[in-house]
Amino acid sequence: MSDDEDIQVEGPSLAEDDPMRAFLPTSFGKRTREADIAAQIDRSKRNVNEPTISNSKSQDSGSGDSSSSEDDSDNSDDEDEYPTSHEMVIKTHDRAVTSLSLDPAGGRLISGSIDCTVKLHDFSSLTPTTIRAFRSVDPYETKASAATESHPIHHVEFNPLAGSVFLCISAHPQAKILSRDGDIVTEFVKGDMYLRDMHNTKGHVSEVTTGTWHPTDKNICVTAGTDSTLRIWDINNKRSQKEVLVFKSRAAGAAGRTRMTAVAWGTPAQGGNNVLVSAALDGTLVMWSGNGPFTRPAGEIRDAHKPNTWTGGLDISSDGRMVVTRGGDNLIKLWDTRKFKEPLVSVEHPSTSDHYPTTNIKYAPNSTSIITGSATGHLHILNPGNLRPEYTTLVTPGSPLITVDWHPKINQIITGSANAETHVLYNPTMSTRGAVDVMSRAPKRRHIDDNPELTTDQSLGLSGDSIITPGALPGTKKTGITASGKSKDPRRPHVPQQTPFLRNQPDEKHISKNIPLSQMLHEDPREALLKYADLAKKDPVFTKAWKDTQPVTQYADVSDEEEDGPEKKKVKR
């Protein structure tokens, strides 16, 4: 065949509309599969059937068609104004999520639950198909093999000035500082419960309810407890608190004590004096100057909320002037720190603190809005001036929304619900990093290691189900000892019973070999001395110098009559 001749390749004789053409290759070589990022993000868009509520914006009256079009435009504007159009769902807990926190950079999420664990999530390692925690921590578990007690998690919060540590508070008198990887850094001391005066105790004597960080000092935090105290700690000194703030309740029959239910520490963004505000179970709202002295509060409002209801929601605005509280009496109130006497605004809002005491309320970044959850699973975004709902959206239908937070850097809202779900709400155009990066990654190809039921946790070693120890199967292992002290297991050698006395006695052979004069323990001291009597008489050591000049001892001869002793003196009459 010459080079000038053209090579003709016969193609398949298929019609243009033949379905078989879909199975024929269109090109040679390996084809790369690229993920459709736009489709992934579109699949994460929230489908809420209920219409959003917008009450704060005035609407002009007009025809029916014009009003409906205006409502649709307002709803779309609200969706564009708040980062709630898309969501990422994290299902890592077994029970209700009680607290959430993001580090200052917005790259790591921690969540606490009443299942007594803290879950750590890293957005940089998540993909749309592998949304799971990289570590689960029980702060009060000492050893995996030991039977230790666990406590529900009340509050977790990253240090806003140093994201390397976070504050962890459980239903326990001792709060802990953990690293961002889940390792315990500091465990604060427990106080003496038998001391009546709380000023003399070095730590909480009963359960800690909540806590927070100092707004300007990364080494200072405050905790609130059921012992009617707030304690300010230096994380570098775990043996005693730095300051103790004792609140004396004036409620009848309380004996001057109550439970501190919430605490917030705020400072003006432009600088100035910071304030420390706390709520008590007797309905009192107390304010201290954040810089001290802490001998007496700067302001106190009795019956700020209904007594004996749990006020779990408390936050301070970014300018340090406004305080918002959410009580167990189904009320949300707004207070002014400059006129700390009466609430500025009070609105009704159903409370969930009777079932979930950690129900919170938070200011949005720059205090442009206030966010909180509800018993129906809705997220409410309120106006910071009149507390009216600006936007309401359903997050977890039929399950109470317990905790909320709005991160200022990545502009995303995180929520924790009673159904053990954590939702990260975001908007692809407004939000940055976080869930946006997770949903923008290519999904990880399915692998056998993705199913934990078919794999082995490397932190626990080989699976115990794969290794069968002889005699370890149910029904074959005989445990215990007989009446004579022998083991019931025939393969186990007889071990002499070790009593506490024998366990502490060293070997006699070792003693006689290594300890001088140890044989004297078994000799009679009288016989040991008398065997040197003849030698001491013949060759004295101490009186040898006076041997020749020593006078002979002469004793008086005693008659038989004098053996009875001297005559008794006559008694004078």
Is the distance from CB of 426 to CB of 83 less than 8 angstroms? yes
Query: 239 vs 52, 164, 171, 178, 230, CA distance in Å?
Result: 51, 22, 20, 17, 16
pLDDT, residue 497, reads 61
pTM to 2 decimal places = 0.70
The lowest-confidence range among 117-121, 246-250, 347-351, 494-498 is 494-498
* pLDDT over 70 at 291, yes or no: yes
Give the number of other CB atoms < 10 A from CB of residue 457. Answer: 9
Mean pLDDT of the chain: 81
The lowest-confidence range among 33-47, 60-74, 135-149, 282-296 is 60-74
Confidence of residue 27 (pLDDT cuts 50, 70, 90): low
Question: In which residue are the tokens 């024929």 written?
Answer: 24
Burial class for 146, CB neighbours closer than 10 Å (0-12, 13-18, 19+): exposed
Q: Which residues of 225-254 are buried (b: 16+ CB within 10 A; e: fewer)?
A: bbbbbbbbbbbeebeebebbbbbebebeeb
* pLDDT over 70 at 511, yes or no: yes
Residues 492 and 481: their CA atoms lie apart, in Å, by 11
What is the dihedral angle through the alpha carbons of 472, 149, 220, 280, rounded to the nearest 10 degrees? Answer: 160
Confidence of residue 68 (pLDDT cuts 50, 70, 90): very low
Confidence of residue 284 (pLDDT cuts 50, 70, 90): very high
Cβ contacts of residue 459 below 8 Å, gap of 6+? none
Q: Which two tokens stand for residue 128?
A: 């749309």
Which amino acid is residue 435, in one-letter code? A
- Under DSSP, the state recorded for 227 is T
Angle at 475 between CA 474 and CA 478, to 5 degrees: 110
Confidence of residue 388 (pLDDT cuts 50, 70, 90): very high
Confidence of residue 186 (pLDDT cuts 50, 70, 90): very high
pLDDT, residue 69, reads 47
Is the distance from CB of 91 to CB of 421 less than 8 angstroms? yes
Cβ contacts of residue 201 below 8 Å, gap of 6+? 191, 192, 195, 244
- In terms of pLDDT, which residue wins out, 555 or 69? 555
Helix, strand, coil shares of the chain as percentages rounded to 5? 15, 25, 60
* pLDDT over 70 at 366, yes or no: yes
Residues 272 and 506: their CA atoms lie apart, in Å, by 69
